[in-house]
């Protein structure tokens, strides 16, 4: 059942990001605006002092650093999601946050997420 829920959550997030990507073409937005919109649509919020785009870029920095050390994506992705869950996000939000980070800030890693 958990696998089914995860697959549904990933599909919903992917659909949301697809819709979000299409909306970005309607009017020009910079990457941070796109990311904030995607994160907000997932119900993720933080205080005004929190640099949410900076956290999204940090996901990409972590991906790049860890891939350089050991190019084995599944444990890296699991580690990032676990870290986000430990930061008080639900698993669905953590997966969505990671996917939005990669989609907006480091699309070169897109093939490693969403599985």
Q: What is the per-residue pLDDT for 3?
A: 39
* Percent of the chain with pLDDT strictly greater than 90: 69
Please write the tens of the pLDDT for every residue from 41-88: 999 988 899 999 999 999 999 999 999 999 999 999 999 999 999 999
pTM (two decimals): 0.74
The rounded distance, in Å, linking the Cα atoms of 28 and 71 is 35
Q: How far is CA 19 from CA 37, 52, 98, in A?
A: 11, 21, 17
Is it the case that residue 9 has pLDDT exceeding 50? no
């Amino acid at each position: 059942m958990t696998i089914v829920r995860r697959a549904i959550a990933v599909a919903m997030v992917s659909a949301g990001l697809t819709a979000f990507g299409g909306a970005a073409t309607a009017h020009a937005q910079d990457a941070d605006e796109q990311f904030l919109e995607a994160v907000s649509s997932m119900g993720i919020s933080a205080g005004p002092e929190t640099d949410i785009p900076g956290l999204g870029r940090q996901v990409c920095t972590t991906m790049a650093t860890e891939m350089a050390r050991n190019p084995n994506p599944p444990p890296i992705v699991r580690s990032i999601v676990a870290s986000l869950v430990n930061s008080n996000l639900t698993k669905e939000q953590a997966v969505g946050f990671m996917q939005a980070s990669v989609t907006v800030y480091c699309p070169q890693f897109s093939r490693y997420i969403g599985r």
